[in-house]
Structure 1
Amino acid sequence: MRVLPRFHYAWVVTAVTFVALLAAASVRAAPGIFITPLEGEFGWDRASISFAVAISLITFGLGGPIGGTLVDRVGPRRALLGGLGVIALGLYLLLSLRDLWQLYLLWGILIGIGTGIASQVTGATVAHRWFRSHRGLVIGAFGAATSAGQLIFVPSMMALTVSDGWRAGLTLMIVACVAVAVPVLLFMRDRPQDVGARPYGEGATVSAAERADDARGTPLATAIRTRDFWLLAGSFFICGYTSNGLVGTHLIPHALEHGFTAVTSATAVGLMGAMNIVGTLASGWLTDRYDNRKLLAAYYGFRALSLALLPLISEVQWLYAFAFLYGLDWIATVPPTANLTATIFGRASLGQLYGWIFFSHMTGAAIAAYAGGYFHTVLGDYHLMFISAAIFGFIAVSLALRIEGTGRMMARPVAELAEPAPV
């Protein structure tokens, strides 16, 4: 009789992490919905509101290394609970929004840090702790959580905002963050050893090479003196500029100004999220099998082409076509970037180093978010910003192809990172 394989707790941890990242991602998708209502209620101009989004993206990026450090020190369970708690608190306080400085403080700083902690940096560390095989696929699944958040929550938030106001949309996100904190509290575990298990895909014995690979790490001071670190950070800066910052913040306002209805615009974002689930999962599968540098180059080139065509779109079917194609590589860059970071610098320092590379991503996003609002105020449209994003996309192709992708000589066992070398 055939014996069924024993269910591994790593999949429970994966599911819990997925829903936590999904809830946090739904919050990050909100600015595109709330920009126009805030303009109408308070009379603030778009550049001022976009500045709050830019601050939030910077602090979101800072939340990456904070979250990576927290995961390394207190574990992903406490890090995720802390991040979700900060998000829920910031959203609750926003219900009483009256002044612009409150938007900067609450959305810009508090919610930015909270969503940064409950982000892909924590997810990447969870994947590398719990999985010996299929790491790229799991990181892809966590990236898909961002898309699932858009797919599930953006149409609902838009419908509530249209019918009952933007505070109703905020309330939906508060409920989501509190709800997903429950399975994190009950079922999340920090390491396989906490449930008496080995990482998924690990055999009964671990080779010396595998143990050495797990122990490799690179100090931040050493990493920032390497070309590969800055190539990864530079290409991820462009990723943020061309995704969260520009499209994530300004696509819905752009579509509304070009005659598309609120429902059509939100549906396009939902479609983009649905295709990103497909694209990110596929990227994770490809990351485990093919040259990560070439994958990144292909993703950035494809994204640049789609953004170059966006200013020309004026009909519903073409807006949906853009959402379909662009959505395929919205977060597809995450699995190969995280995997390259671990491969080059060592898994022991993945949380910290990928956190700072992620900060570069969100710096690019913050610049694009504010610049989009500023140049819209000056020029009256987003065309210049979309063209600049296409140009940056092609630059990222060159950066990705120049990554060496080895770097094993620079990484050292964790014990060596904490102890001075003998004299």
Structure 2
Amino acid sequence: MKNANRKKLGHSVICASWLAVFCLFGYRSTFSILLGPMSKDLGWSISKLSLAYSLMMSVYAITAFFSGILIDKWGTRPAYLIASVGGALGFYLTSNANSYISYVLPYVIFAGIGTGMLWVSSTISVRKWYVGKSYATMWGIAFMGAPAAQIVLSLGVKKLLLTLGWRLAMKILALIVFVLLLMASYFSRKNPSDYGLSPFGVTSQEVNNEYVWSLKEAYSTFPIWGAILAFITSIIAEFLIWTQIVMYWTKDMGLTLATSTNLYVVIGFAGLISMPFMGKVADKVVSSKPSESMGRKIMLIFAPAVGVVACILLLLTKMSIIYSIISCILFSVYWAIEPGGVAGYIGAIYGGKTLGRIWGAATLIVMGIGPALGSFMGAYLYDLNGSYYYSIIFATCAFALSTIISLFLPLKVRINKK
């Protein structure tokens, strides 16, 4: 009976995380689609519009840090409730913008707070319930919310843009985010220990023996900084691609917005397969290695290497659109591994008791720099050169650097018990 209840609670956590991830990545995917129509209607440059997105991600990062502390104490429900209000206001108030300040302030503040409450809560809640060889599989299921958002919201927004315009599209998105995050808060559950349960994949004795890390202790060790450096370089490349890829296809390749959006949706369709599939692959790699940290490290080397190949193929689109399709599939493979894989690696090194605040602080650093730099550099290099060629080269180099850093990630951390 107890095991059946534990399984039910775990599945509820996955459902809540799926909804949270859907809304979080809905913000990312729709921005790339809305960027062109907003620039045309408001008369602002791509880099000027992208700056607000970059600043929003900085607020997101700060919020993510506090959400980690919140989750360690009270679980994810308060985070999802705050996100439902912030996320909805971010879309709704921005839709009424007529001046640059009325665009920047509501988007940066409300969207930043709303989305900042979602990433740490969704990843850590899954990691707190599922450990070892079961983590990546279950996270893969929850992370399917990201490609689902890319498909449903990208296609939906594209249709709305053709008929109703970007302002009404944002108002509809505000309603969707509000309702779905209220549902996420309903399905959310506290940490396993609050129910007298242990996570799947470990025994209660193993949980009790975990070391309780303070932030100062954790951040005085190399593994967390190695993981942050590997993650931040990938995130720089990832956000450059996600925010500018539709513009690359329309401006550099001369494709229509409809065709470019359909290509963008290919990443989503591929992700519906790659998320659960690569989750199972990652867990099989973990099972075949002496330690979970070794398996997670191998996947963190593999993921950005795939990103390098995807960028190279993206640059070959002029030769054939097939290269872009293959590139999109490879981006979905990278995407399925990297974000959750870093959380898995950190969890394998530091355990789960204070993972929320450790991962929250890492997210503060990574998301405070990576998305802002990536999205801004993509737009800046385009404005500077009139082409996205150098933007894609920049992303390729960032992925390559992430691969190199991941090669040096340690497999354990020394605990200095006083």
Alpha-carbon offset, residue 379 of structure 1: 0.5
- Counterpart in the other structure of 1:416: none
Of 318, 326, 329 in structure 2, the residue corresponding to residue 321 of structure 1 is: 326
Cα distance change of structure 1 residues 132 and 86 upon mapping to structure 2, 3 Å threshold: same
- Counterpart in the other structure of 1:377: 383
- Counterpart in the other structure of 2:137: 137
The share of aligned pairs that are identical, in percent, is 20
Q: How high is the TM-score relative to the length of structure 1?
A: 0.88
Alpha-carbon offset, residue 129 of structure 1: 3.0
1:235 equivalenced with 2:230 (yes/no): yes
Cα deviation code 1:125-154 (max 9, x no counterpart): 211333356222222333332222112211
RMSD: 2.3
Of 293, 309, 312 in structure 2, the residue corresponding to residue 308 of structure 1 is: 312
Correspondences of 1:223-302 after superposition (within 5 Å): 223-243=218-238, 245-257=239-251, 258-290=253-285, 291-302=295-306
1:345 equivalenced with 2:350 (yes/no): yes
Query: Are the aligned partners of 2:80 and 2:182 in contact in 1 as well (CA < 8 Å)?
Result: no
Q: Secondary structure at the match of 2:395?
A: helix
- Counterpart in the other structure of 2:288: none
Cα distance change of structure 1 residues 239 and 165 upon mapping to structure 2, 3 Å threshold: same
1:217 equivalenced with 2:186 (yes/no): no
Which 5+ residue runs of structure 2 have no aligned equivalent?
286-294
Cα distance change of structure 1 residues 191 and 350 upon mapping to structure 2, 3 Å threshold: closer
Alpha-carbon offset, residue 313 of structure 1: 0.9
Alpha-carbon offset, residue 341 of structure 1: 0.7
Cα deviation code 1:142-169 (max 9, x no counterpart): 3332222112211111111122111122
Q: How high is the TM-score relative to the length of structure 2?
A: 0.89
Cα deviation code 1:340-398 (max 9, x no counterpart): 11122221221112122223432212101111111111100111121121122121111
Q: Distance in 1 between matches of 2:227 and 2:362?
A: 7
Alpha-carbon offset, residue 181 of structure 1: 3.1
Alpha-carbon offset, residue 29 of structure 1: 1.6
Q: Distance in 2 between matches of 1:87 and 1:22?
A: 12
- Counterpart in the other structure of 2:146: 146
Aligned length: 402
Q: Secondary structure at the match of 1:288?
A: helix
Q: More deviation in 229-238 or 329-338? A: 329-338
Q: Distance in 2 between matches of 1:319 and 1:163?
A: 28
Cα distance change of structure 1 residues 361 and 275 upon mapping to structure 2, 3 Å threshold: farther
Query: Are the aligned partners of 2:25 and 2:150 in contact in 1 as well (CA < 8 Å)?
Result: yes
Cα deviation code 1:25-55 (max 9, x no counterpart): 2112222112111211111111211111111
Cα distance change of structure 1 residues 256 and 202 upon mapping to structure 2, 3 Å threshold: closer
- Counterpart in the other structure of 1:124: 123
Of 328, 333, 337 in structure 1, the residue corresponding to residue 338 of structure 2 is: 333
Correspondences of 1:177-188 after superposition (within 5 Å): 177-188=177-188
Query: Are the aligned partners of 1:10 and 1:199 in contact in 2 as well (CA < 8 Å)?
Result: no
Cα deviation code 1:92-134 (max 9, x no counterpart): 1112111112222122232022101112x11222113333562
Moved over 6 A (4+): none
Alpha-carbon offset, residue 185 of structure 1: 4.2
Cα deviation code 1:183-237 (max 9, x no counterpart): 234333223466x57346378xx45333213xx2322222222222221111111
Query: Are the aligned partners of 1:239 and 1:361 in contact in 2 as well (CA < 8 Å)?
Result: no
Q: More deviation in 281-290 or 372-381? A: 281-290
Q: Distance in 1 between matches of 2:82 and 2:110?
A: 12
